[in-house]
Amino acid sequence: MPEKLKTGLAVLILFAALQNTGFGATEIRLLYIGSPDDASYLGARQGLNEANLQGQFLGQTYILDVRAPGAVPPAEALSGMAAVLATVNADRLPELAATAAGIPVFNLRADDDSLRAACIANLLHVIPSAAMRWDAVAQWQKINPGAQVTASAWHGDFMKYAGRDLNKRYRATSGQAMDEAAWAGWAAVKMTSDTVARLNDTRPAAVLTFLRHELRFDGQKGAEMSFRASGQLRQPLLIIKEGKIAGEAPVRGVADADDLDSLGNSDCPESK
């Protein structure tokens, strides 16, 4: 082969290789399964904006696909996804997780304790469990006997730490106050983008391993959050009385403020 042709061919091959590996942005696909009318979807969109703001500095672009709830999608519909966000009923989650084996599936709605006790490897519960709410209320009632309160992952009036900033951003883009469902949607996307940024890897198995074992997430509630072996996100909760924030759990004076496992902890056998 003449030398000139060889060089030309080499240049062509190199060019093709560069095109394939993409010197442009890396695309990260996320699938939201649920109604786009849910606050959790609006929260996920907020998370997407913020993931893409970070992504512009790292050459990463996030895309959020939507699929209606109902029948569990076939495995083909899940391939290529870095993570799945699910606003579906509790009874559908184990099947969805099984179909999405190896892909992180974020539970944004179901607070059933049985789902945590099931210890499903790729099911990550962003929404607090019923047991966590129960413990938060019980801690509060120890120092406020008879108080009729509930516990929530978020509230649109939350100002402390960086709660003010997130509430302000969300209200500006969605026109509404951020509630627990919206926070969960935001958090699921944000922790995925945190993971991809740090790993520089979009393979779902790598993302799942990092989420479960290495993630230290800033959910704008002043605490470092991580996942329990059960797949439940450790997090502080807000105590709500008559629609207003009355306090935070772990409740100071009853539990250590940093002891997030004082809220509804449950174990999983090592083998799982």
Summarize as ranges the residues that interact with other proteins (CB under 8 A).
50, 53-54, 57-58, 162, 165-166, 168-169, 194, 197-198, 216-218, 220, 222-224, 257-258
Smallest gap from residue 215 Cβ to other proteins (A)? 10
Distance CA 59, CA 56 (A): 5
**217: β partners:** 225
Nearer to other proteins, 6 or 198 (CB): 198
Residue 100 CA, chain-centre distance (Å), reads 16
DSSP H or E segment with residue 163: helix 163-174
Smallest gap from residue 166 Cβ to other proteins (A)? 8
Nearer to other proteins, 203 or 216 (CB): 216
Smallest gap from residue 141 Cβ to other proteins (A)? 25
Give ∠ CA 133-163-45 in degrees, rounded to 5.
90
Smallest gap from residue 53 Cβ to other proteins (A)? 6
DSSP H or E segment with residue 196: helix 180-199
Q: Do 100 and 121 contact (CB within 8 A), yes or no?
A: no
Nearer to other proteins, 157 or 224 (CB): 224
Nearer to other proteins, 216 or 244 (CB): 216
Structure tokens at 264: 């509804």
DSSP H or E segment with residue 86: strand 83-86
Smallest gap from residue 101 Cβ to other proteins (A)? 29
Distance CA 67, CA 77 (A): 10
Nearer to other proteins, 6 or 164 (CB): 164
